[in-house]
Chains A and B, each alone.
Chain A
Amino acid sequence: MSTLSSEIADDSITVPKLLGAVATQTRVINALILRETKTRYGNYKIGFLWALIEPLVGVTVFVMIFANLRNDSPSGMPLVAFMLVGFCCYGLFRDPWGSLQGSISNSRHLLTFPQVTTFDIILARAILEVLVCFFVLGFLLYMAYLAGFEVRCENPLGVLVACCLLAILGTGAGFLFASLEPLIPSVKQITQVLNRPLYFGSGLFYTADTIPEAARDYLLYNPLLHIMELLRSEFFYEFETSHGSWTYATLWSFSTLAVGLLTHQAFHKRAIIKK
């Protein structure tokens, strides 16, 4: 039996150590994003195409319905751009919140590498989802412009801010559900149940003005509807929202992110061990 040494590796936190940790984490997240991209899109040549097809189908269907119903979109916004902005930007929320859920249970084997944490895994996925959505949005808007539809952006910076709010909301919800899912598998059902009403209740293909007043008061509890209103208000010259509130949207986004991160902090250790 050997005696124990009293000198243990120094565990105190110093600035160089902190910088080293940040460098490692950046490296890890970068590697995870590349790996996730390869896993998801690498094997199928049309993999990336799917990311485009999904919003495209939604937009086409609703453009056709609206074009036949009445020949204009709300407030005289150009119809194609109106739908594209609605459907592509909604992905900034839905994709992270949908695909982050399984990230701990699906990538448990990755934790074999000590520098990879559940936080890195979830964040890397979120970043990938958001980047793909931005790419899809930009690409489809450009295509629409080339095809001769009217695409003019009033305030790109405002659009970007609203998009970021959507991404933050989605990532926060994603962190929340990703941390709970290994412990309570039924949270998957919750998101499935919520998906449908959120899809129809977030103003993807209408503006708050066009909803009957009785329903509008309730729908305006939905922060996504607020952000969608603000987004269109910033994008289109023709439209100014009278319902969207930056304060309400921002509060929701950052509170959701805080709740998501805190839940992750509280449960990630148990989530790892739970098989």
Chain B
Amino acid sequence: MISLRNVCKRYRTQAGYRVVLDNVNLDFPVGKSVGILGLNGTGKSTLIRIIGDAEPPDSGSVHCDQRVSWPLGYSGGFQGKLTALENSRFVARIYGESPRYVEEFTREFSELGEYFDEPLKSYSAGMQGRFAFSVSLACNFEYYLVDEALETGDARYREKFRMAFEERRANASVILVSHNEQTIRRNCDMAAILHEGSLVLYEDLKEALLEYNILQNQPR
């Protein structure tokens, strides 16, 4: 289970402090995939980076007793000068997996062909997303943190990922950040809405989407 306790985060901007997370308390239920909805710029990506421990909160804490992936995005922590092969081995090493297994799984699953031995910086955004997902699938996480990137790649490839996640449903969950209702509806069991610093979890996905619709249509 991932639990957030009294998590606060703010950024300094020209106009003063901007509160992104205002004393957030939440438990992500075990075995459920949760979507996080929010308007542009509300801090969804910051939230998922804090959950994944890629960025410290200003105060409060995140507790977790399972294997959580790094926040998956277009490129994340990869080194553009190195090839997909070298990057996948690096990930395997820091997560204590077998470099050879991770490399082979990624080569096969990402379908990058000869590009697999080319530097990452020569990839298109879609290809980078494909690579990031394939490496993370090779590592067998219990939680996958996904930052919008499910929309990368062509439809056929998106479907392949969805199937792969579906297969892992029994022992892996997804926390998915998106402003796309379709993506959330397809991949998640429930959803939370991040709005003006507070995060509210709805057990019922439909209810969450309804709320989000109201929010979207509010005059700003």
Residues of A within 8 A of B (CB): 1-2, 4-5, 8-11, 23-24, 27-28, 30-31, 34-35, 38-39, 42-43, 109-116, 269, 272-273
Contacts and interface: CB of A to CB of B under 8 A. Distances in A.
B27 A112 contact: no
Interface in B54-69: 54-56, 61, 63-65, 68
Contact of A31 (B49, B64, B70, B94): B94
Interface stretch (B36-44, B74-82, B105-113, B155-163): B74-82
Interface pairs A-B: 6 shortest CB-CB: A31-B93, A112-B77, A114-B53, A9-B65, A9-B63, A112-B76
B152 interface: no
Contacts of B86: 35, 38, 42
A27 B200 CA distance: 38
A113 B64 contact: no
12 contacts: A2-B27, A5-B27, A9-B63, A10-B65, A24-B96, A28-B93, A39-B79, A39-B82, A109-B78, A112-B71, A112-B76, A115-B95
Given A112-B70, A272-B55, A9 B64 contact: yes
Contact of A2 (B64, B77, B201): B201
B90 interface: yes
A112 B3 contact: no
Contacts of A11: 61, 63
Contacts of A38: 82, 86
Contact of A39 (B3, B26, B68, B81): B81
Given A4-B25, A39-B82, A34 B53 contact: no
A163 B21 CA distance: 49
A12 to B, nearest CB: 12
A27 B96 contact: yes
A23 B49 CA distance: 24
B5 interface: yes
A115 B94 contact: yes
A39 B5 CA distance: 39
Contact of B70 (A39, A114, A272): A114
Nearest to B25: A4
Given A24-B96, A27-B93, A38-B82, A116 B77 contact: yes
Nearest to B95: A115
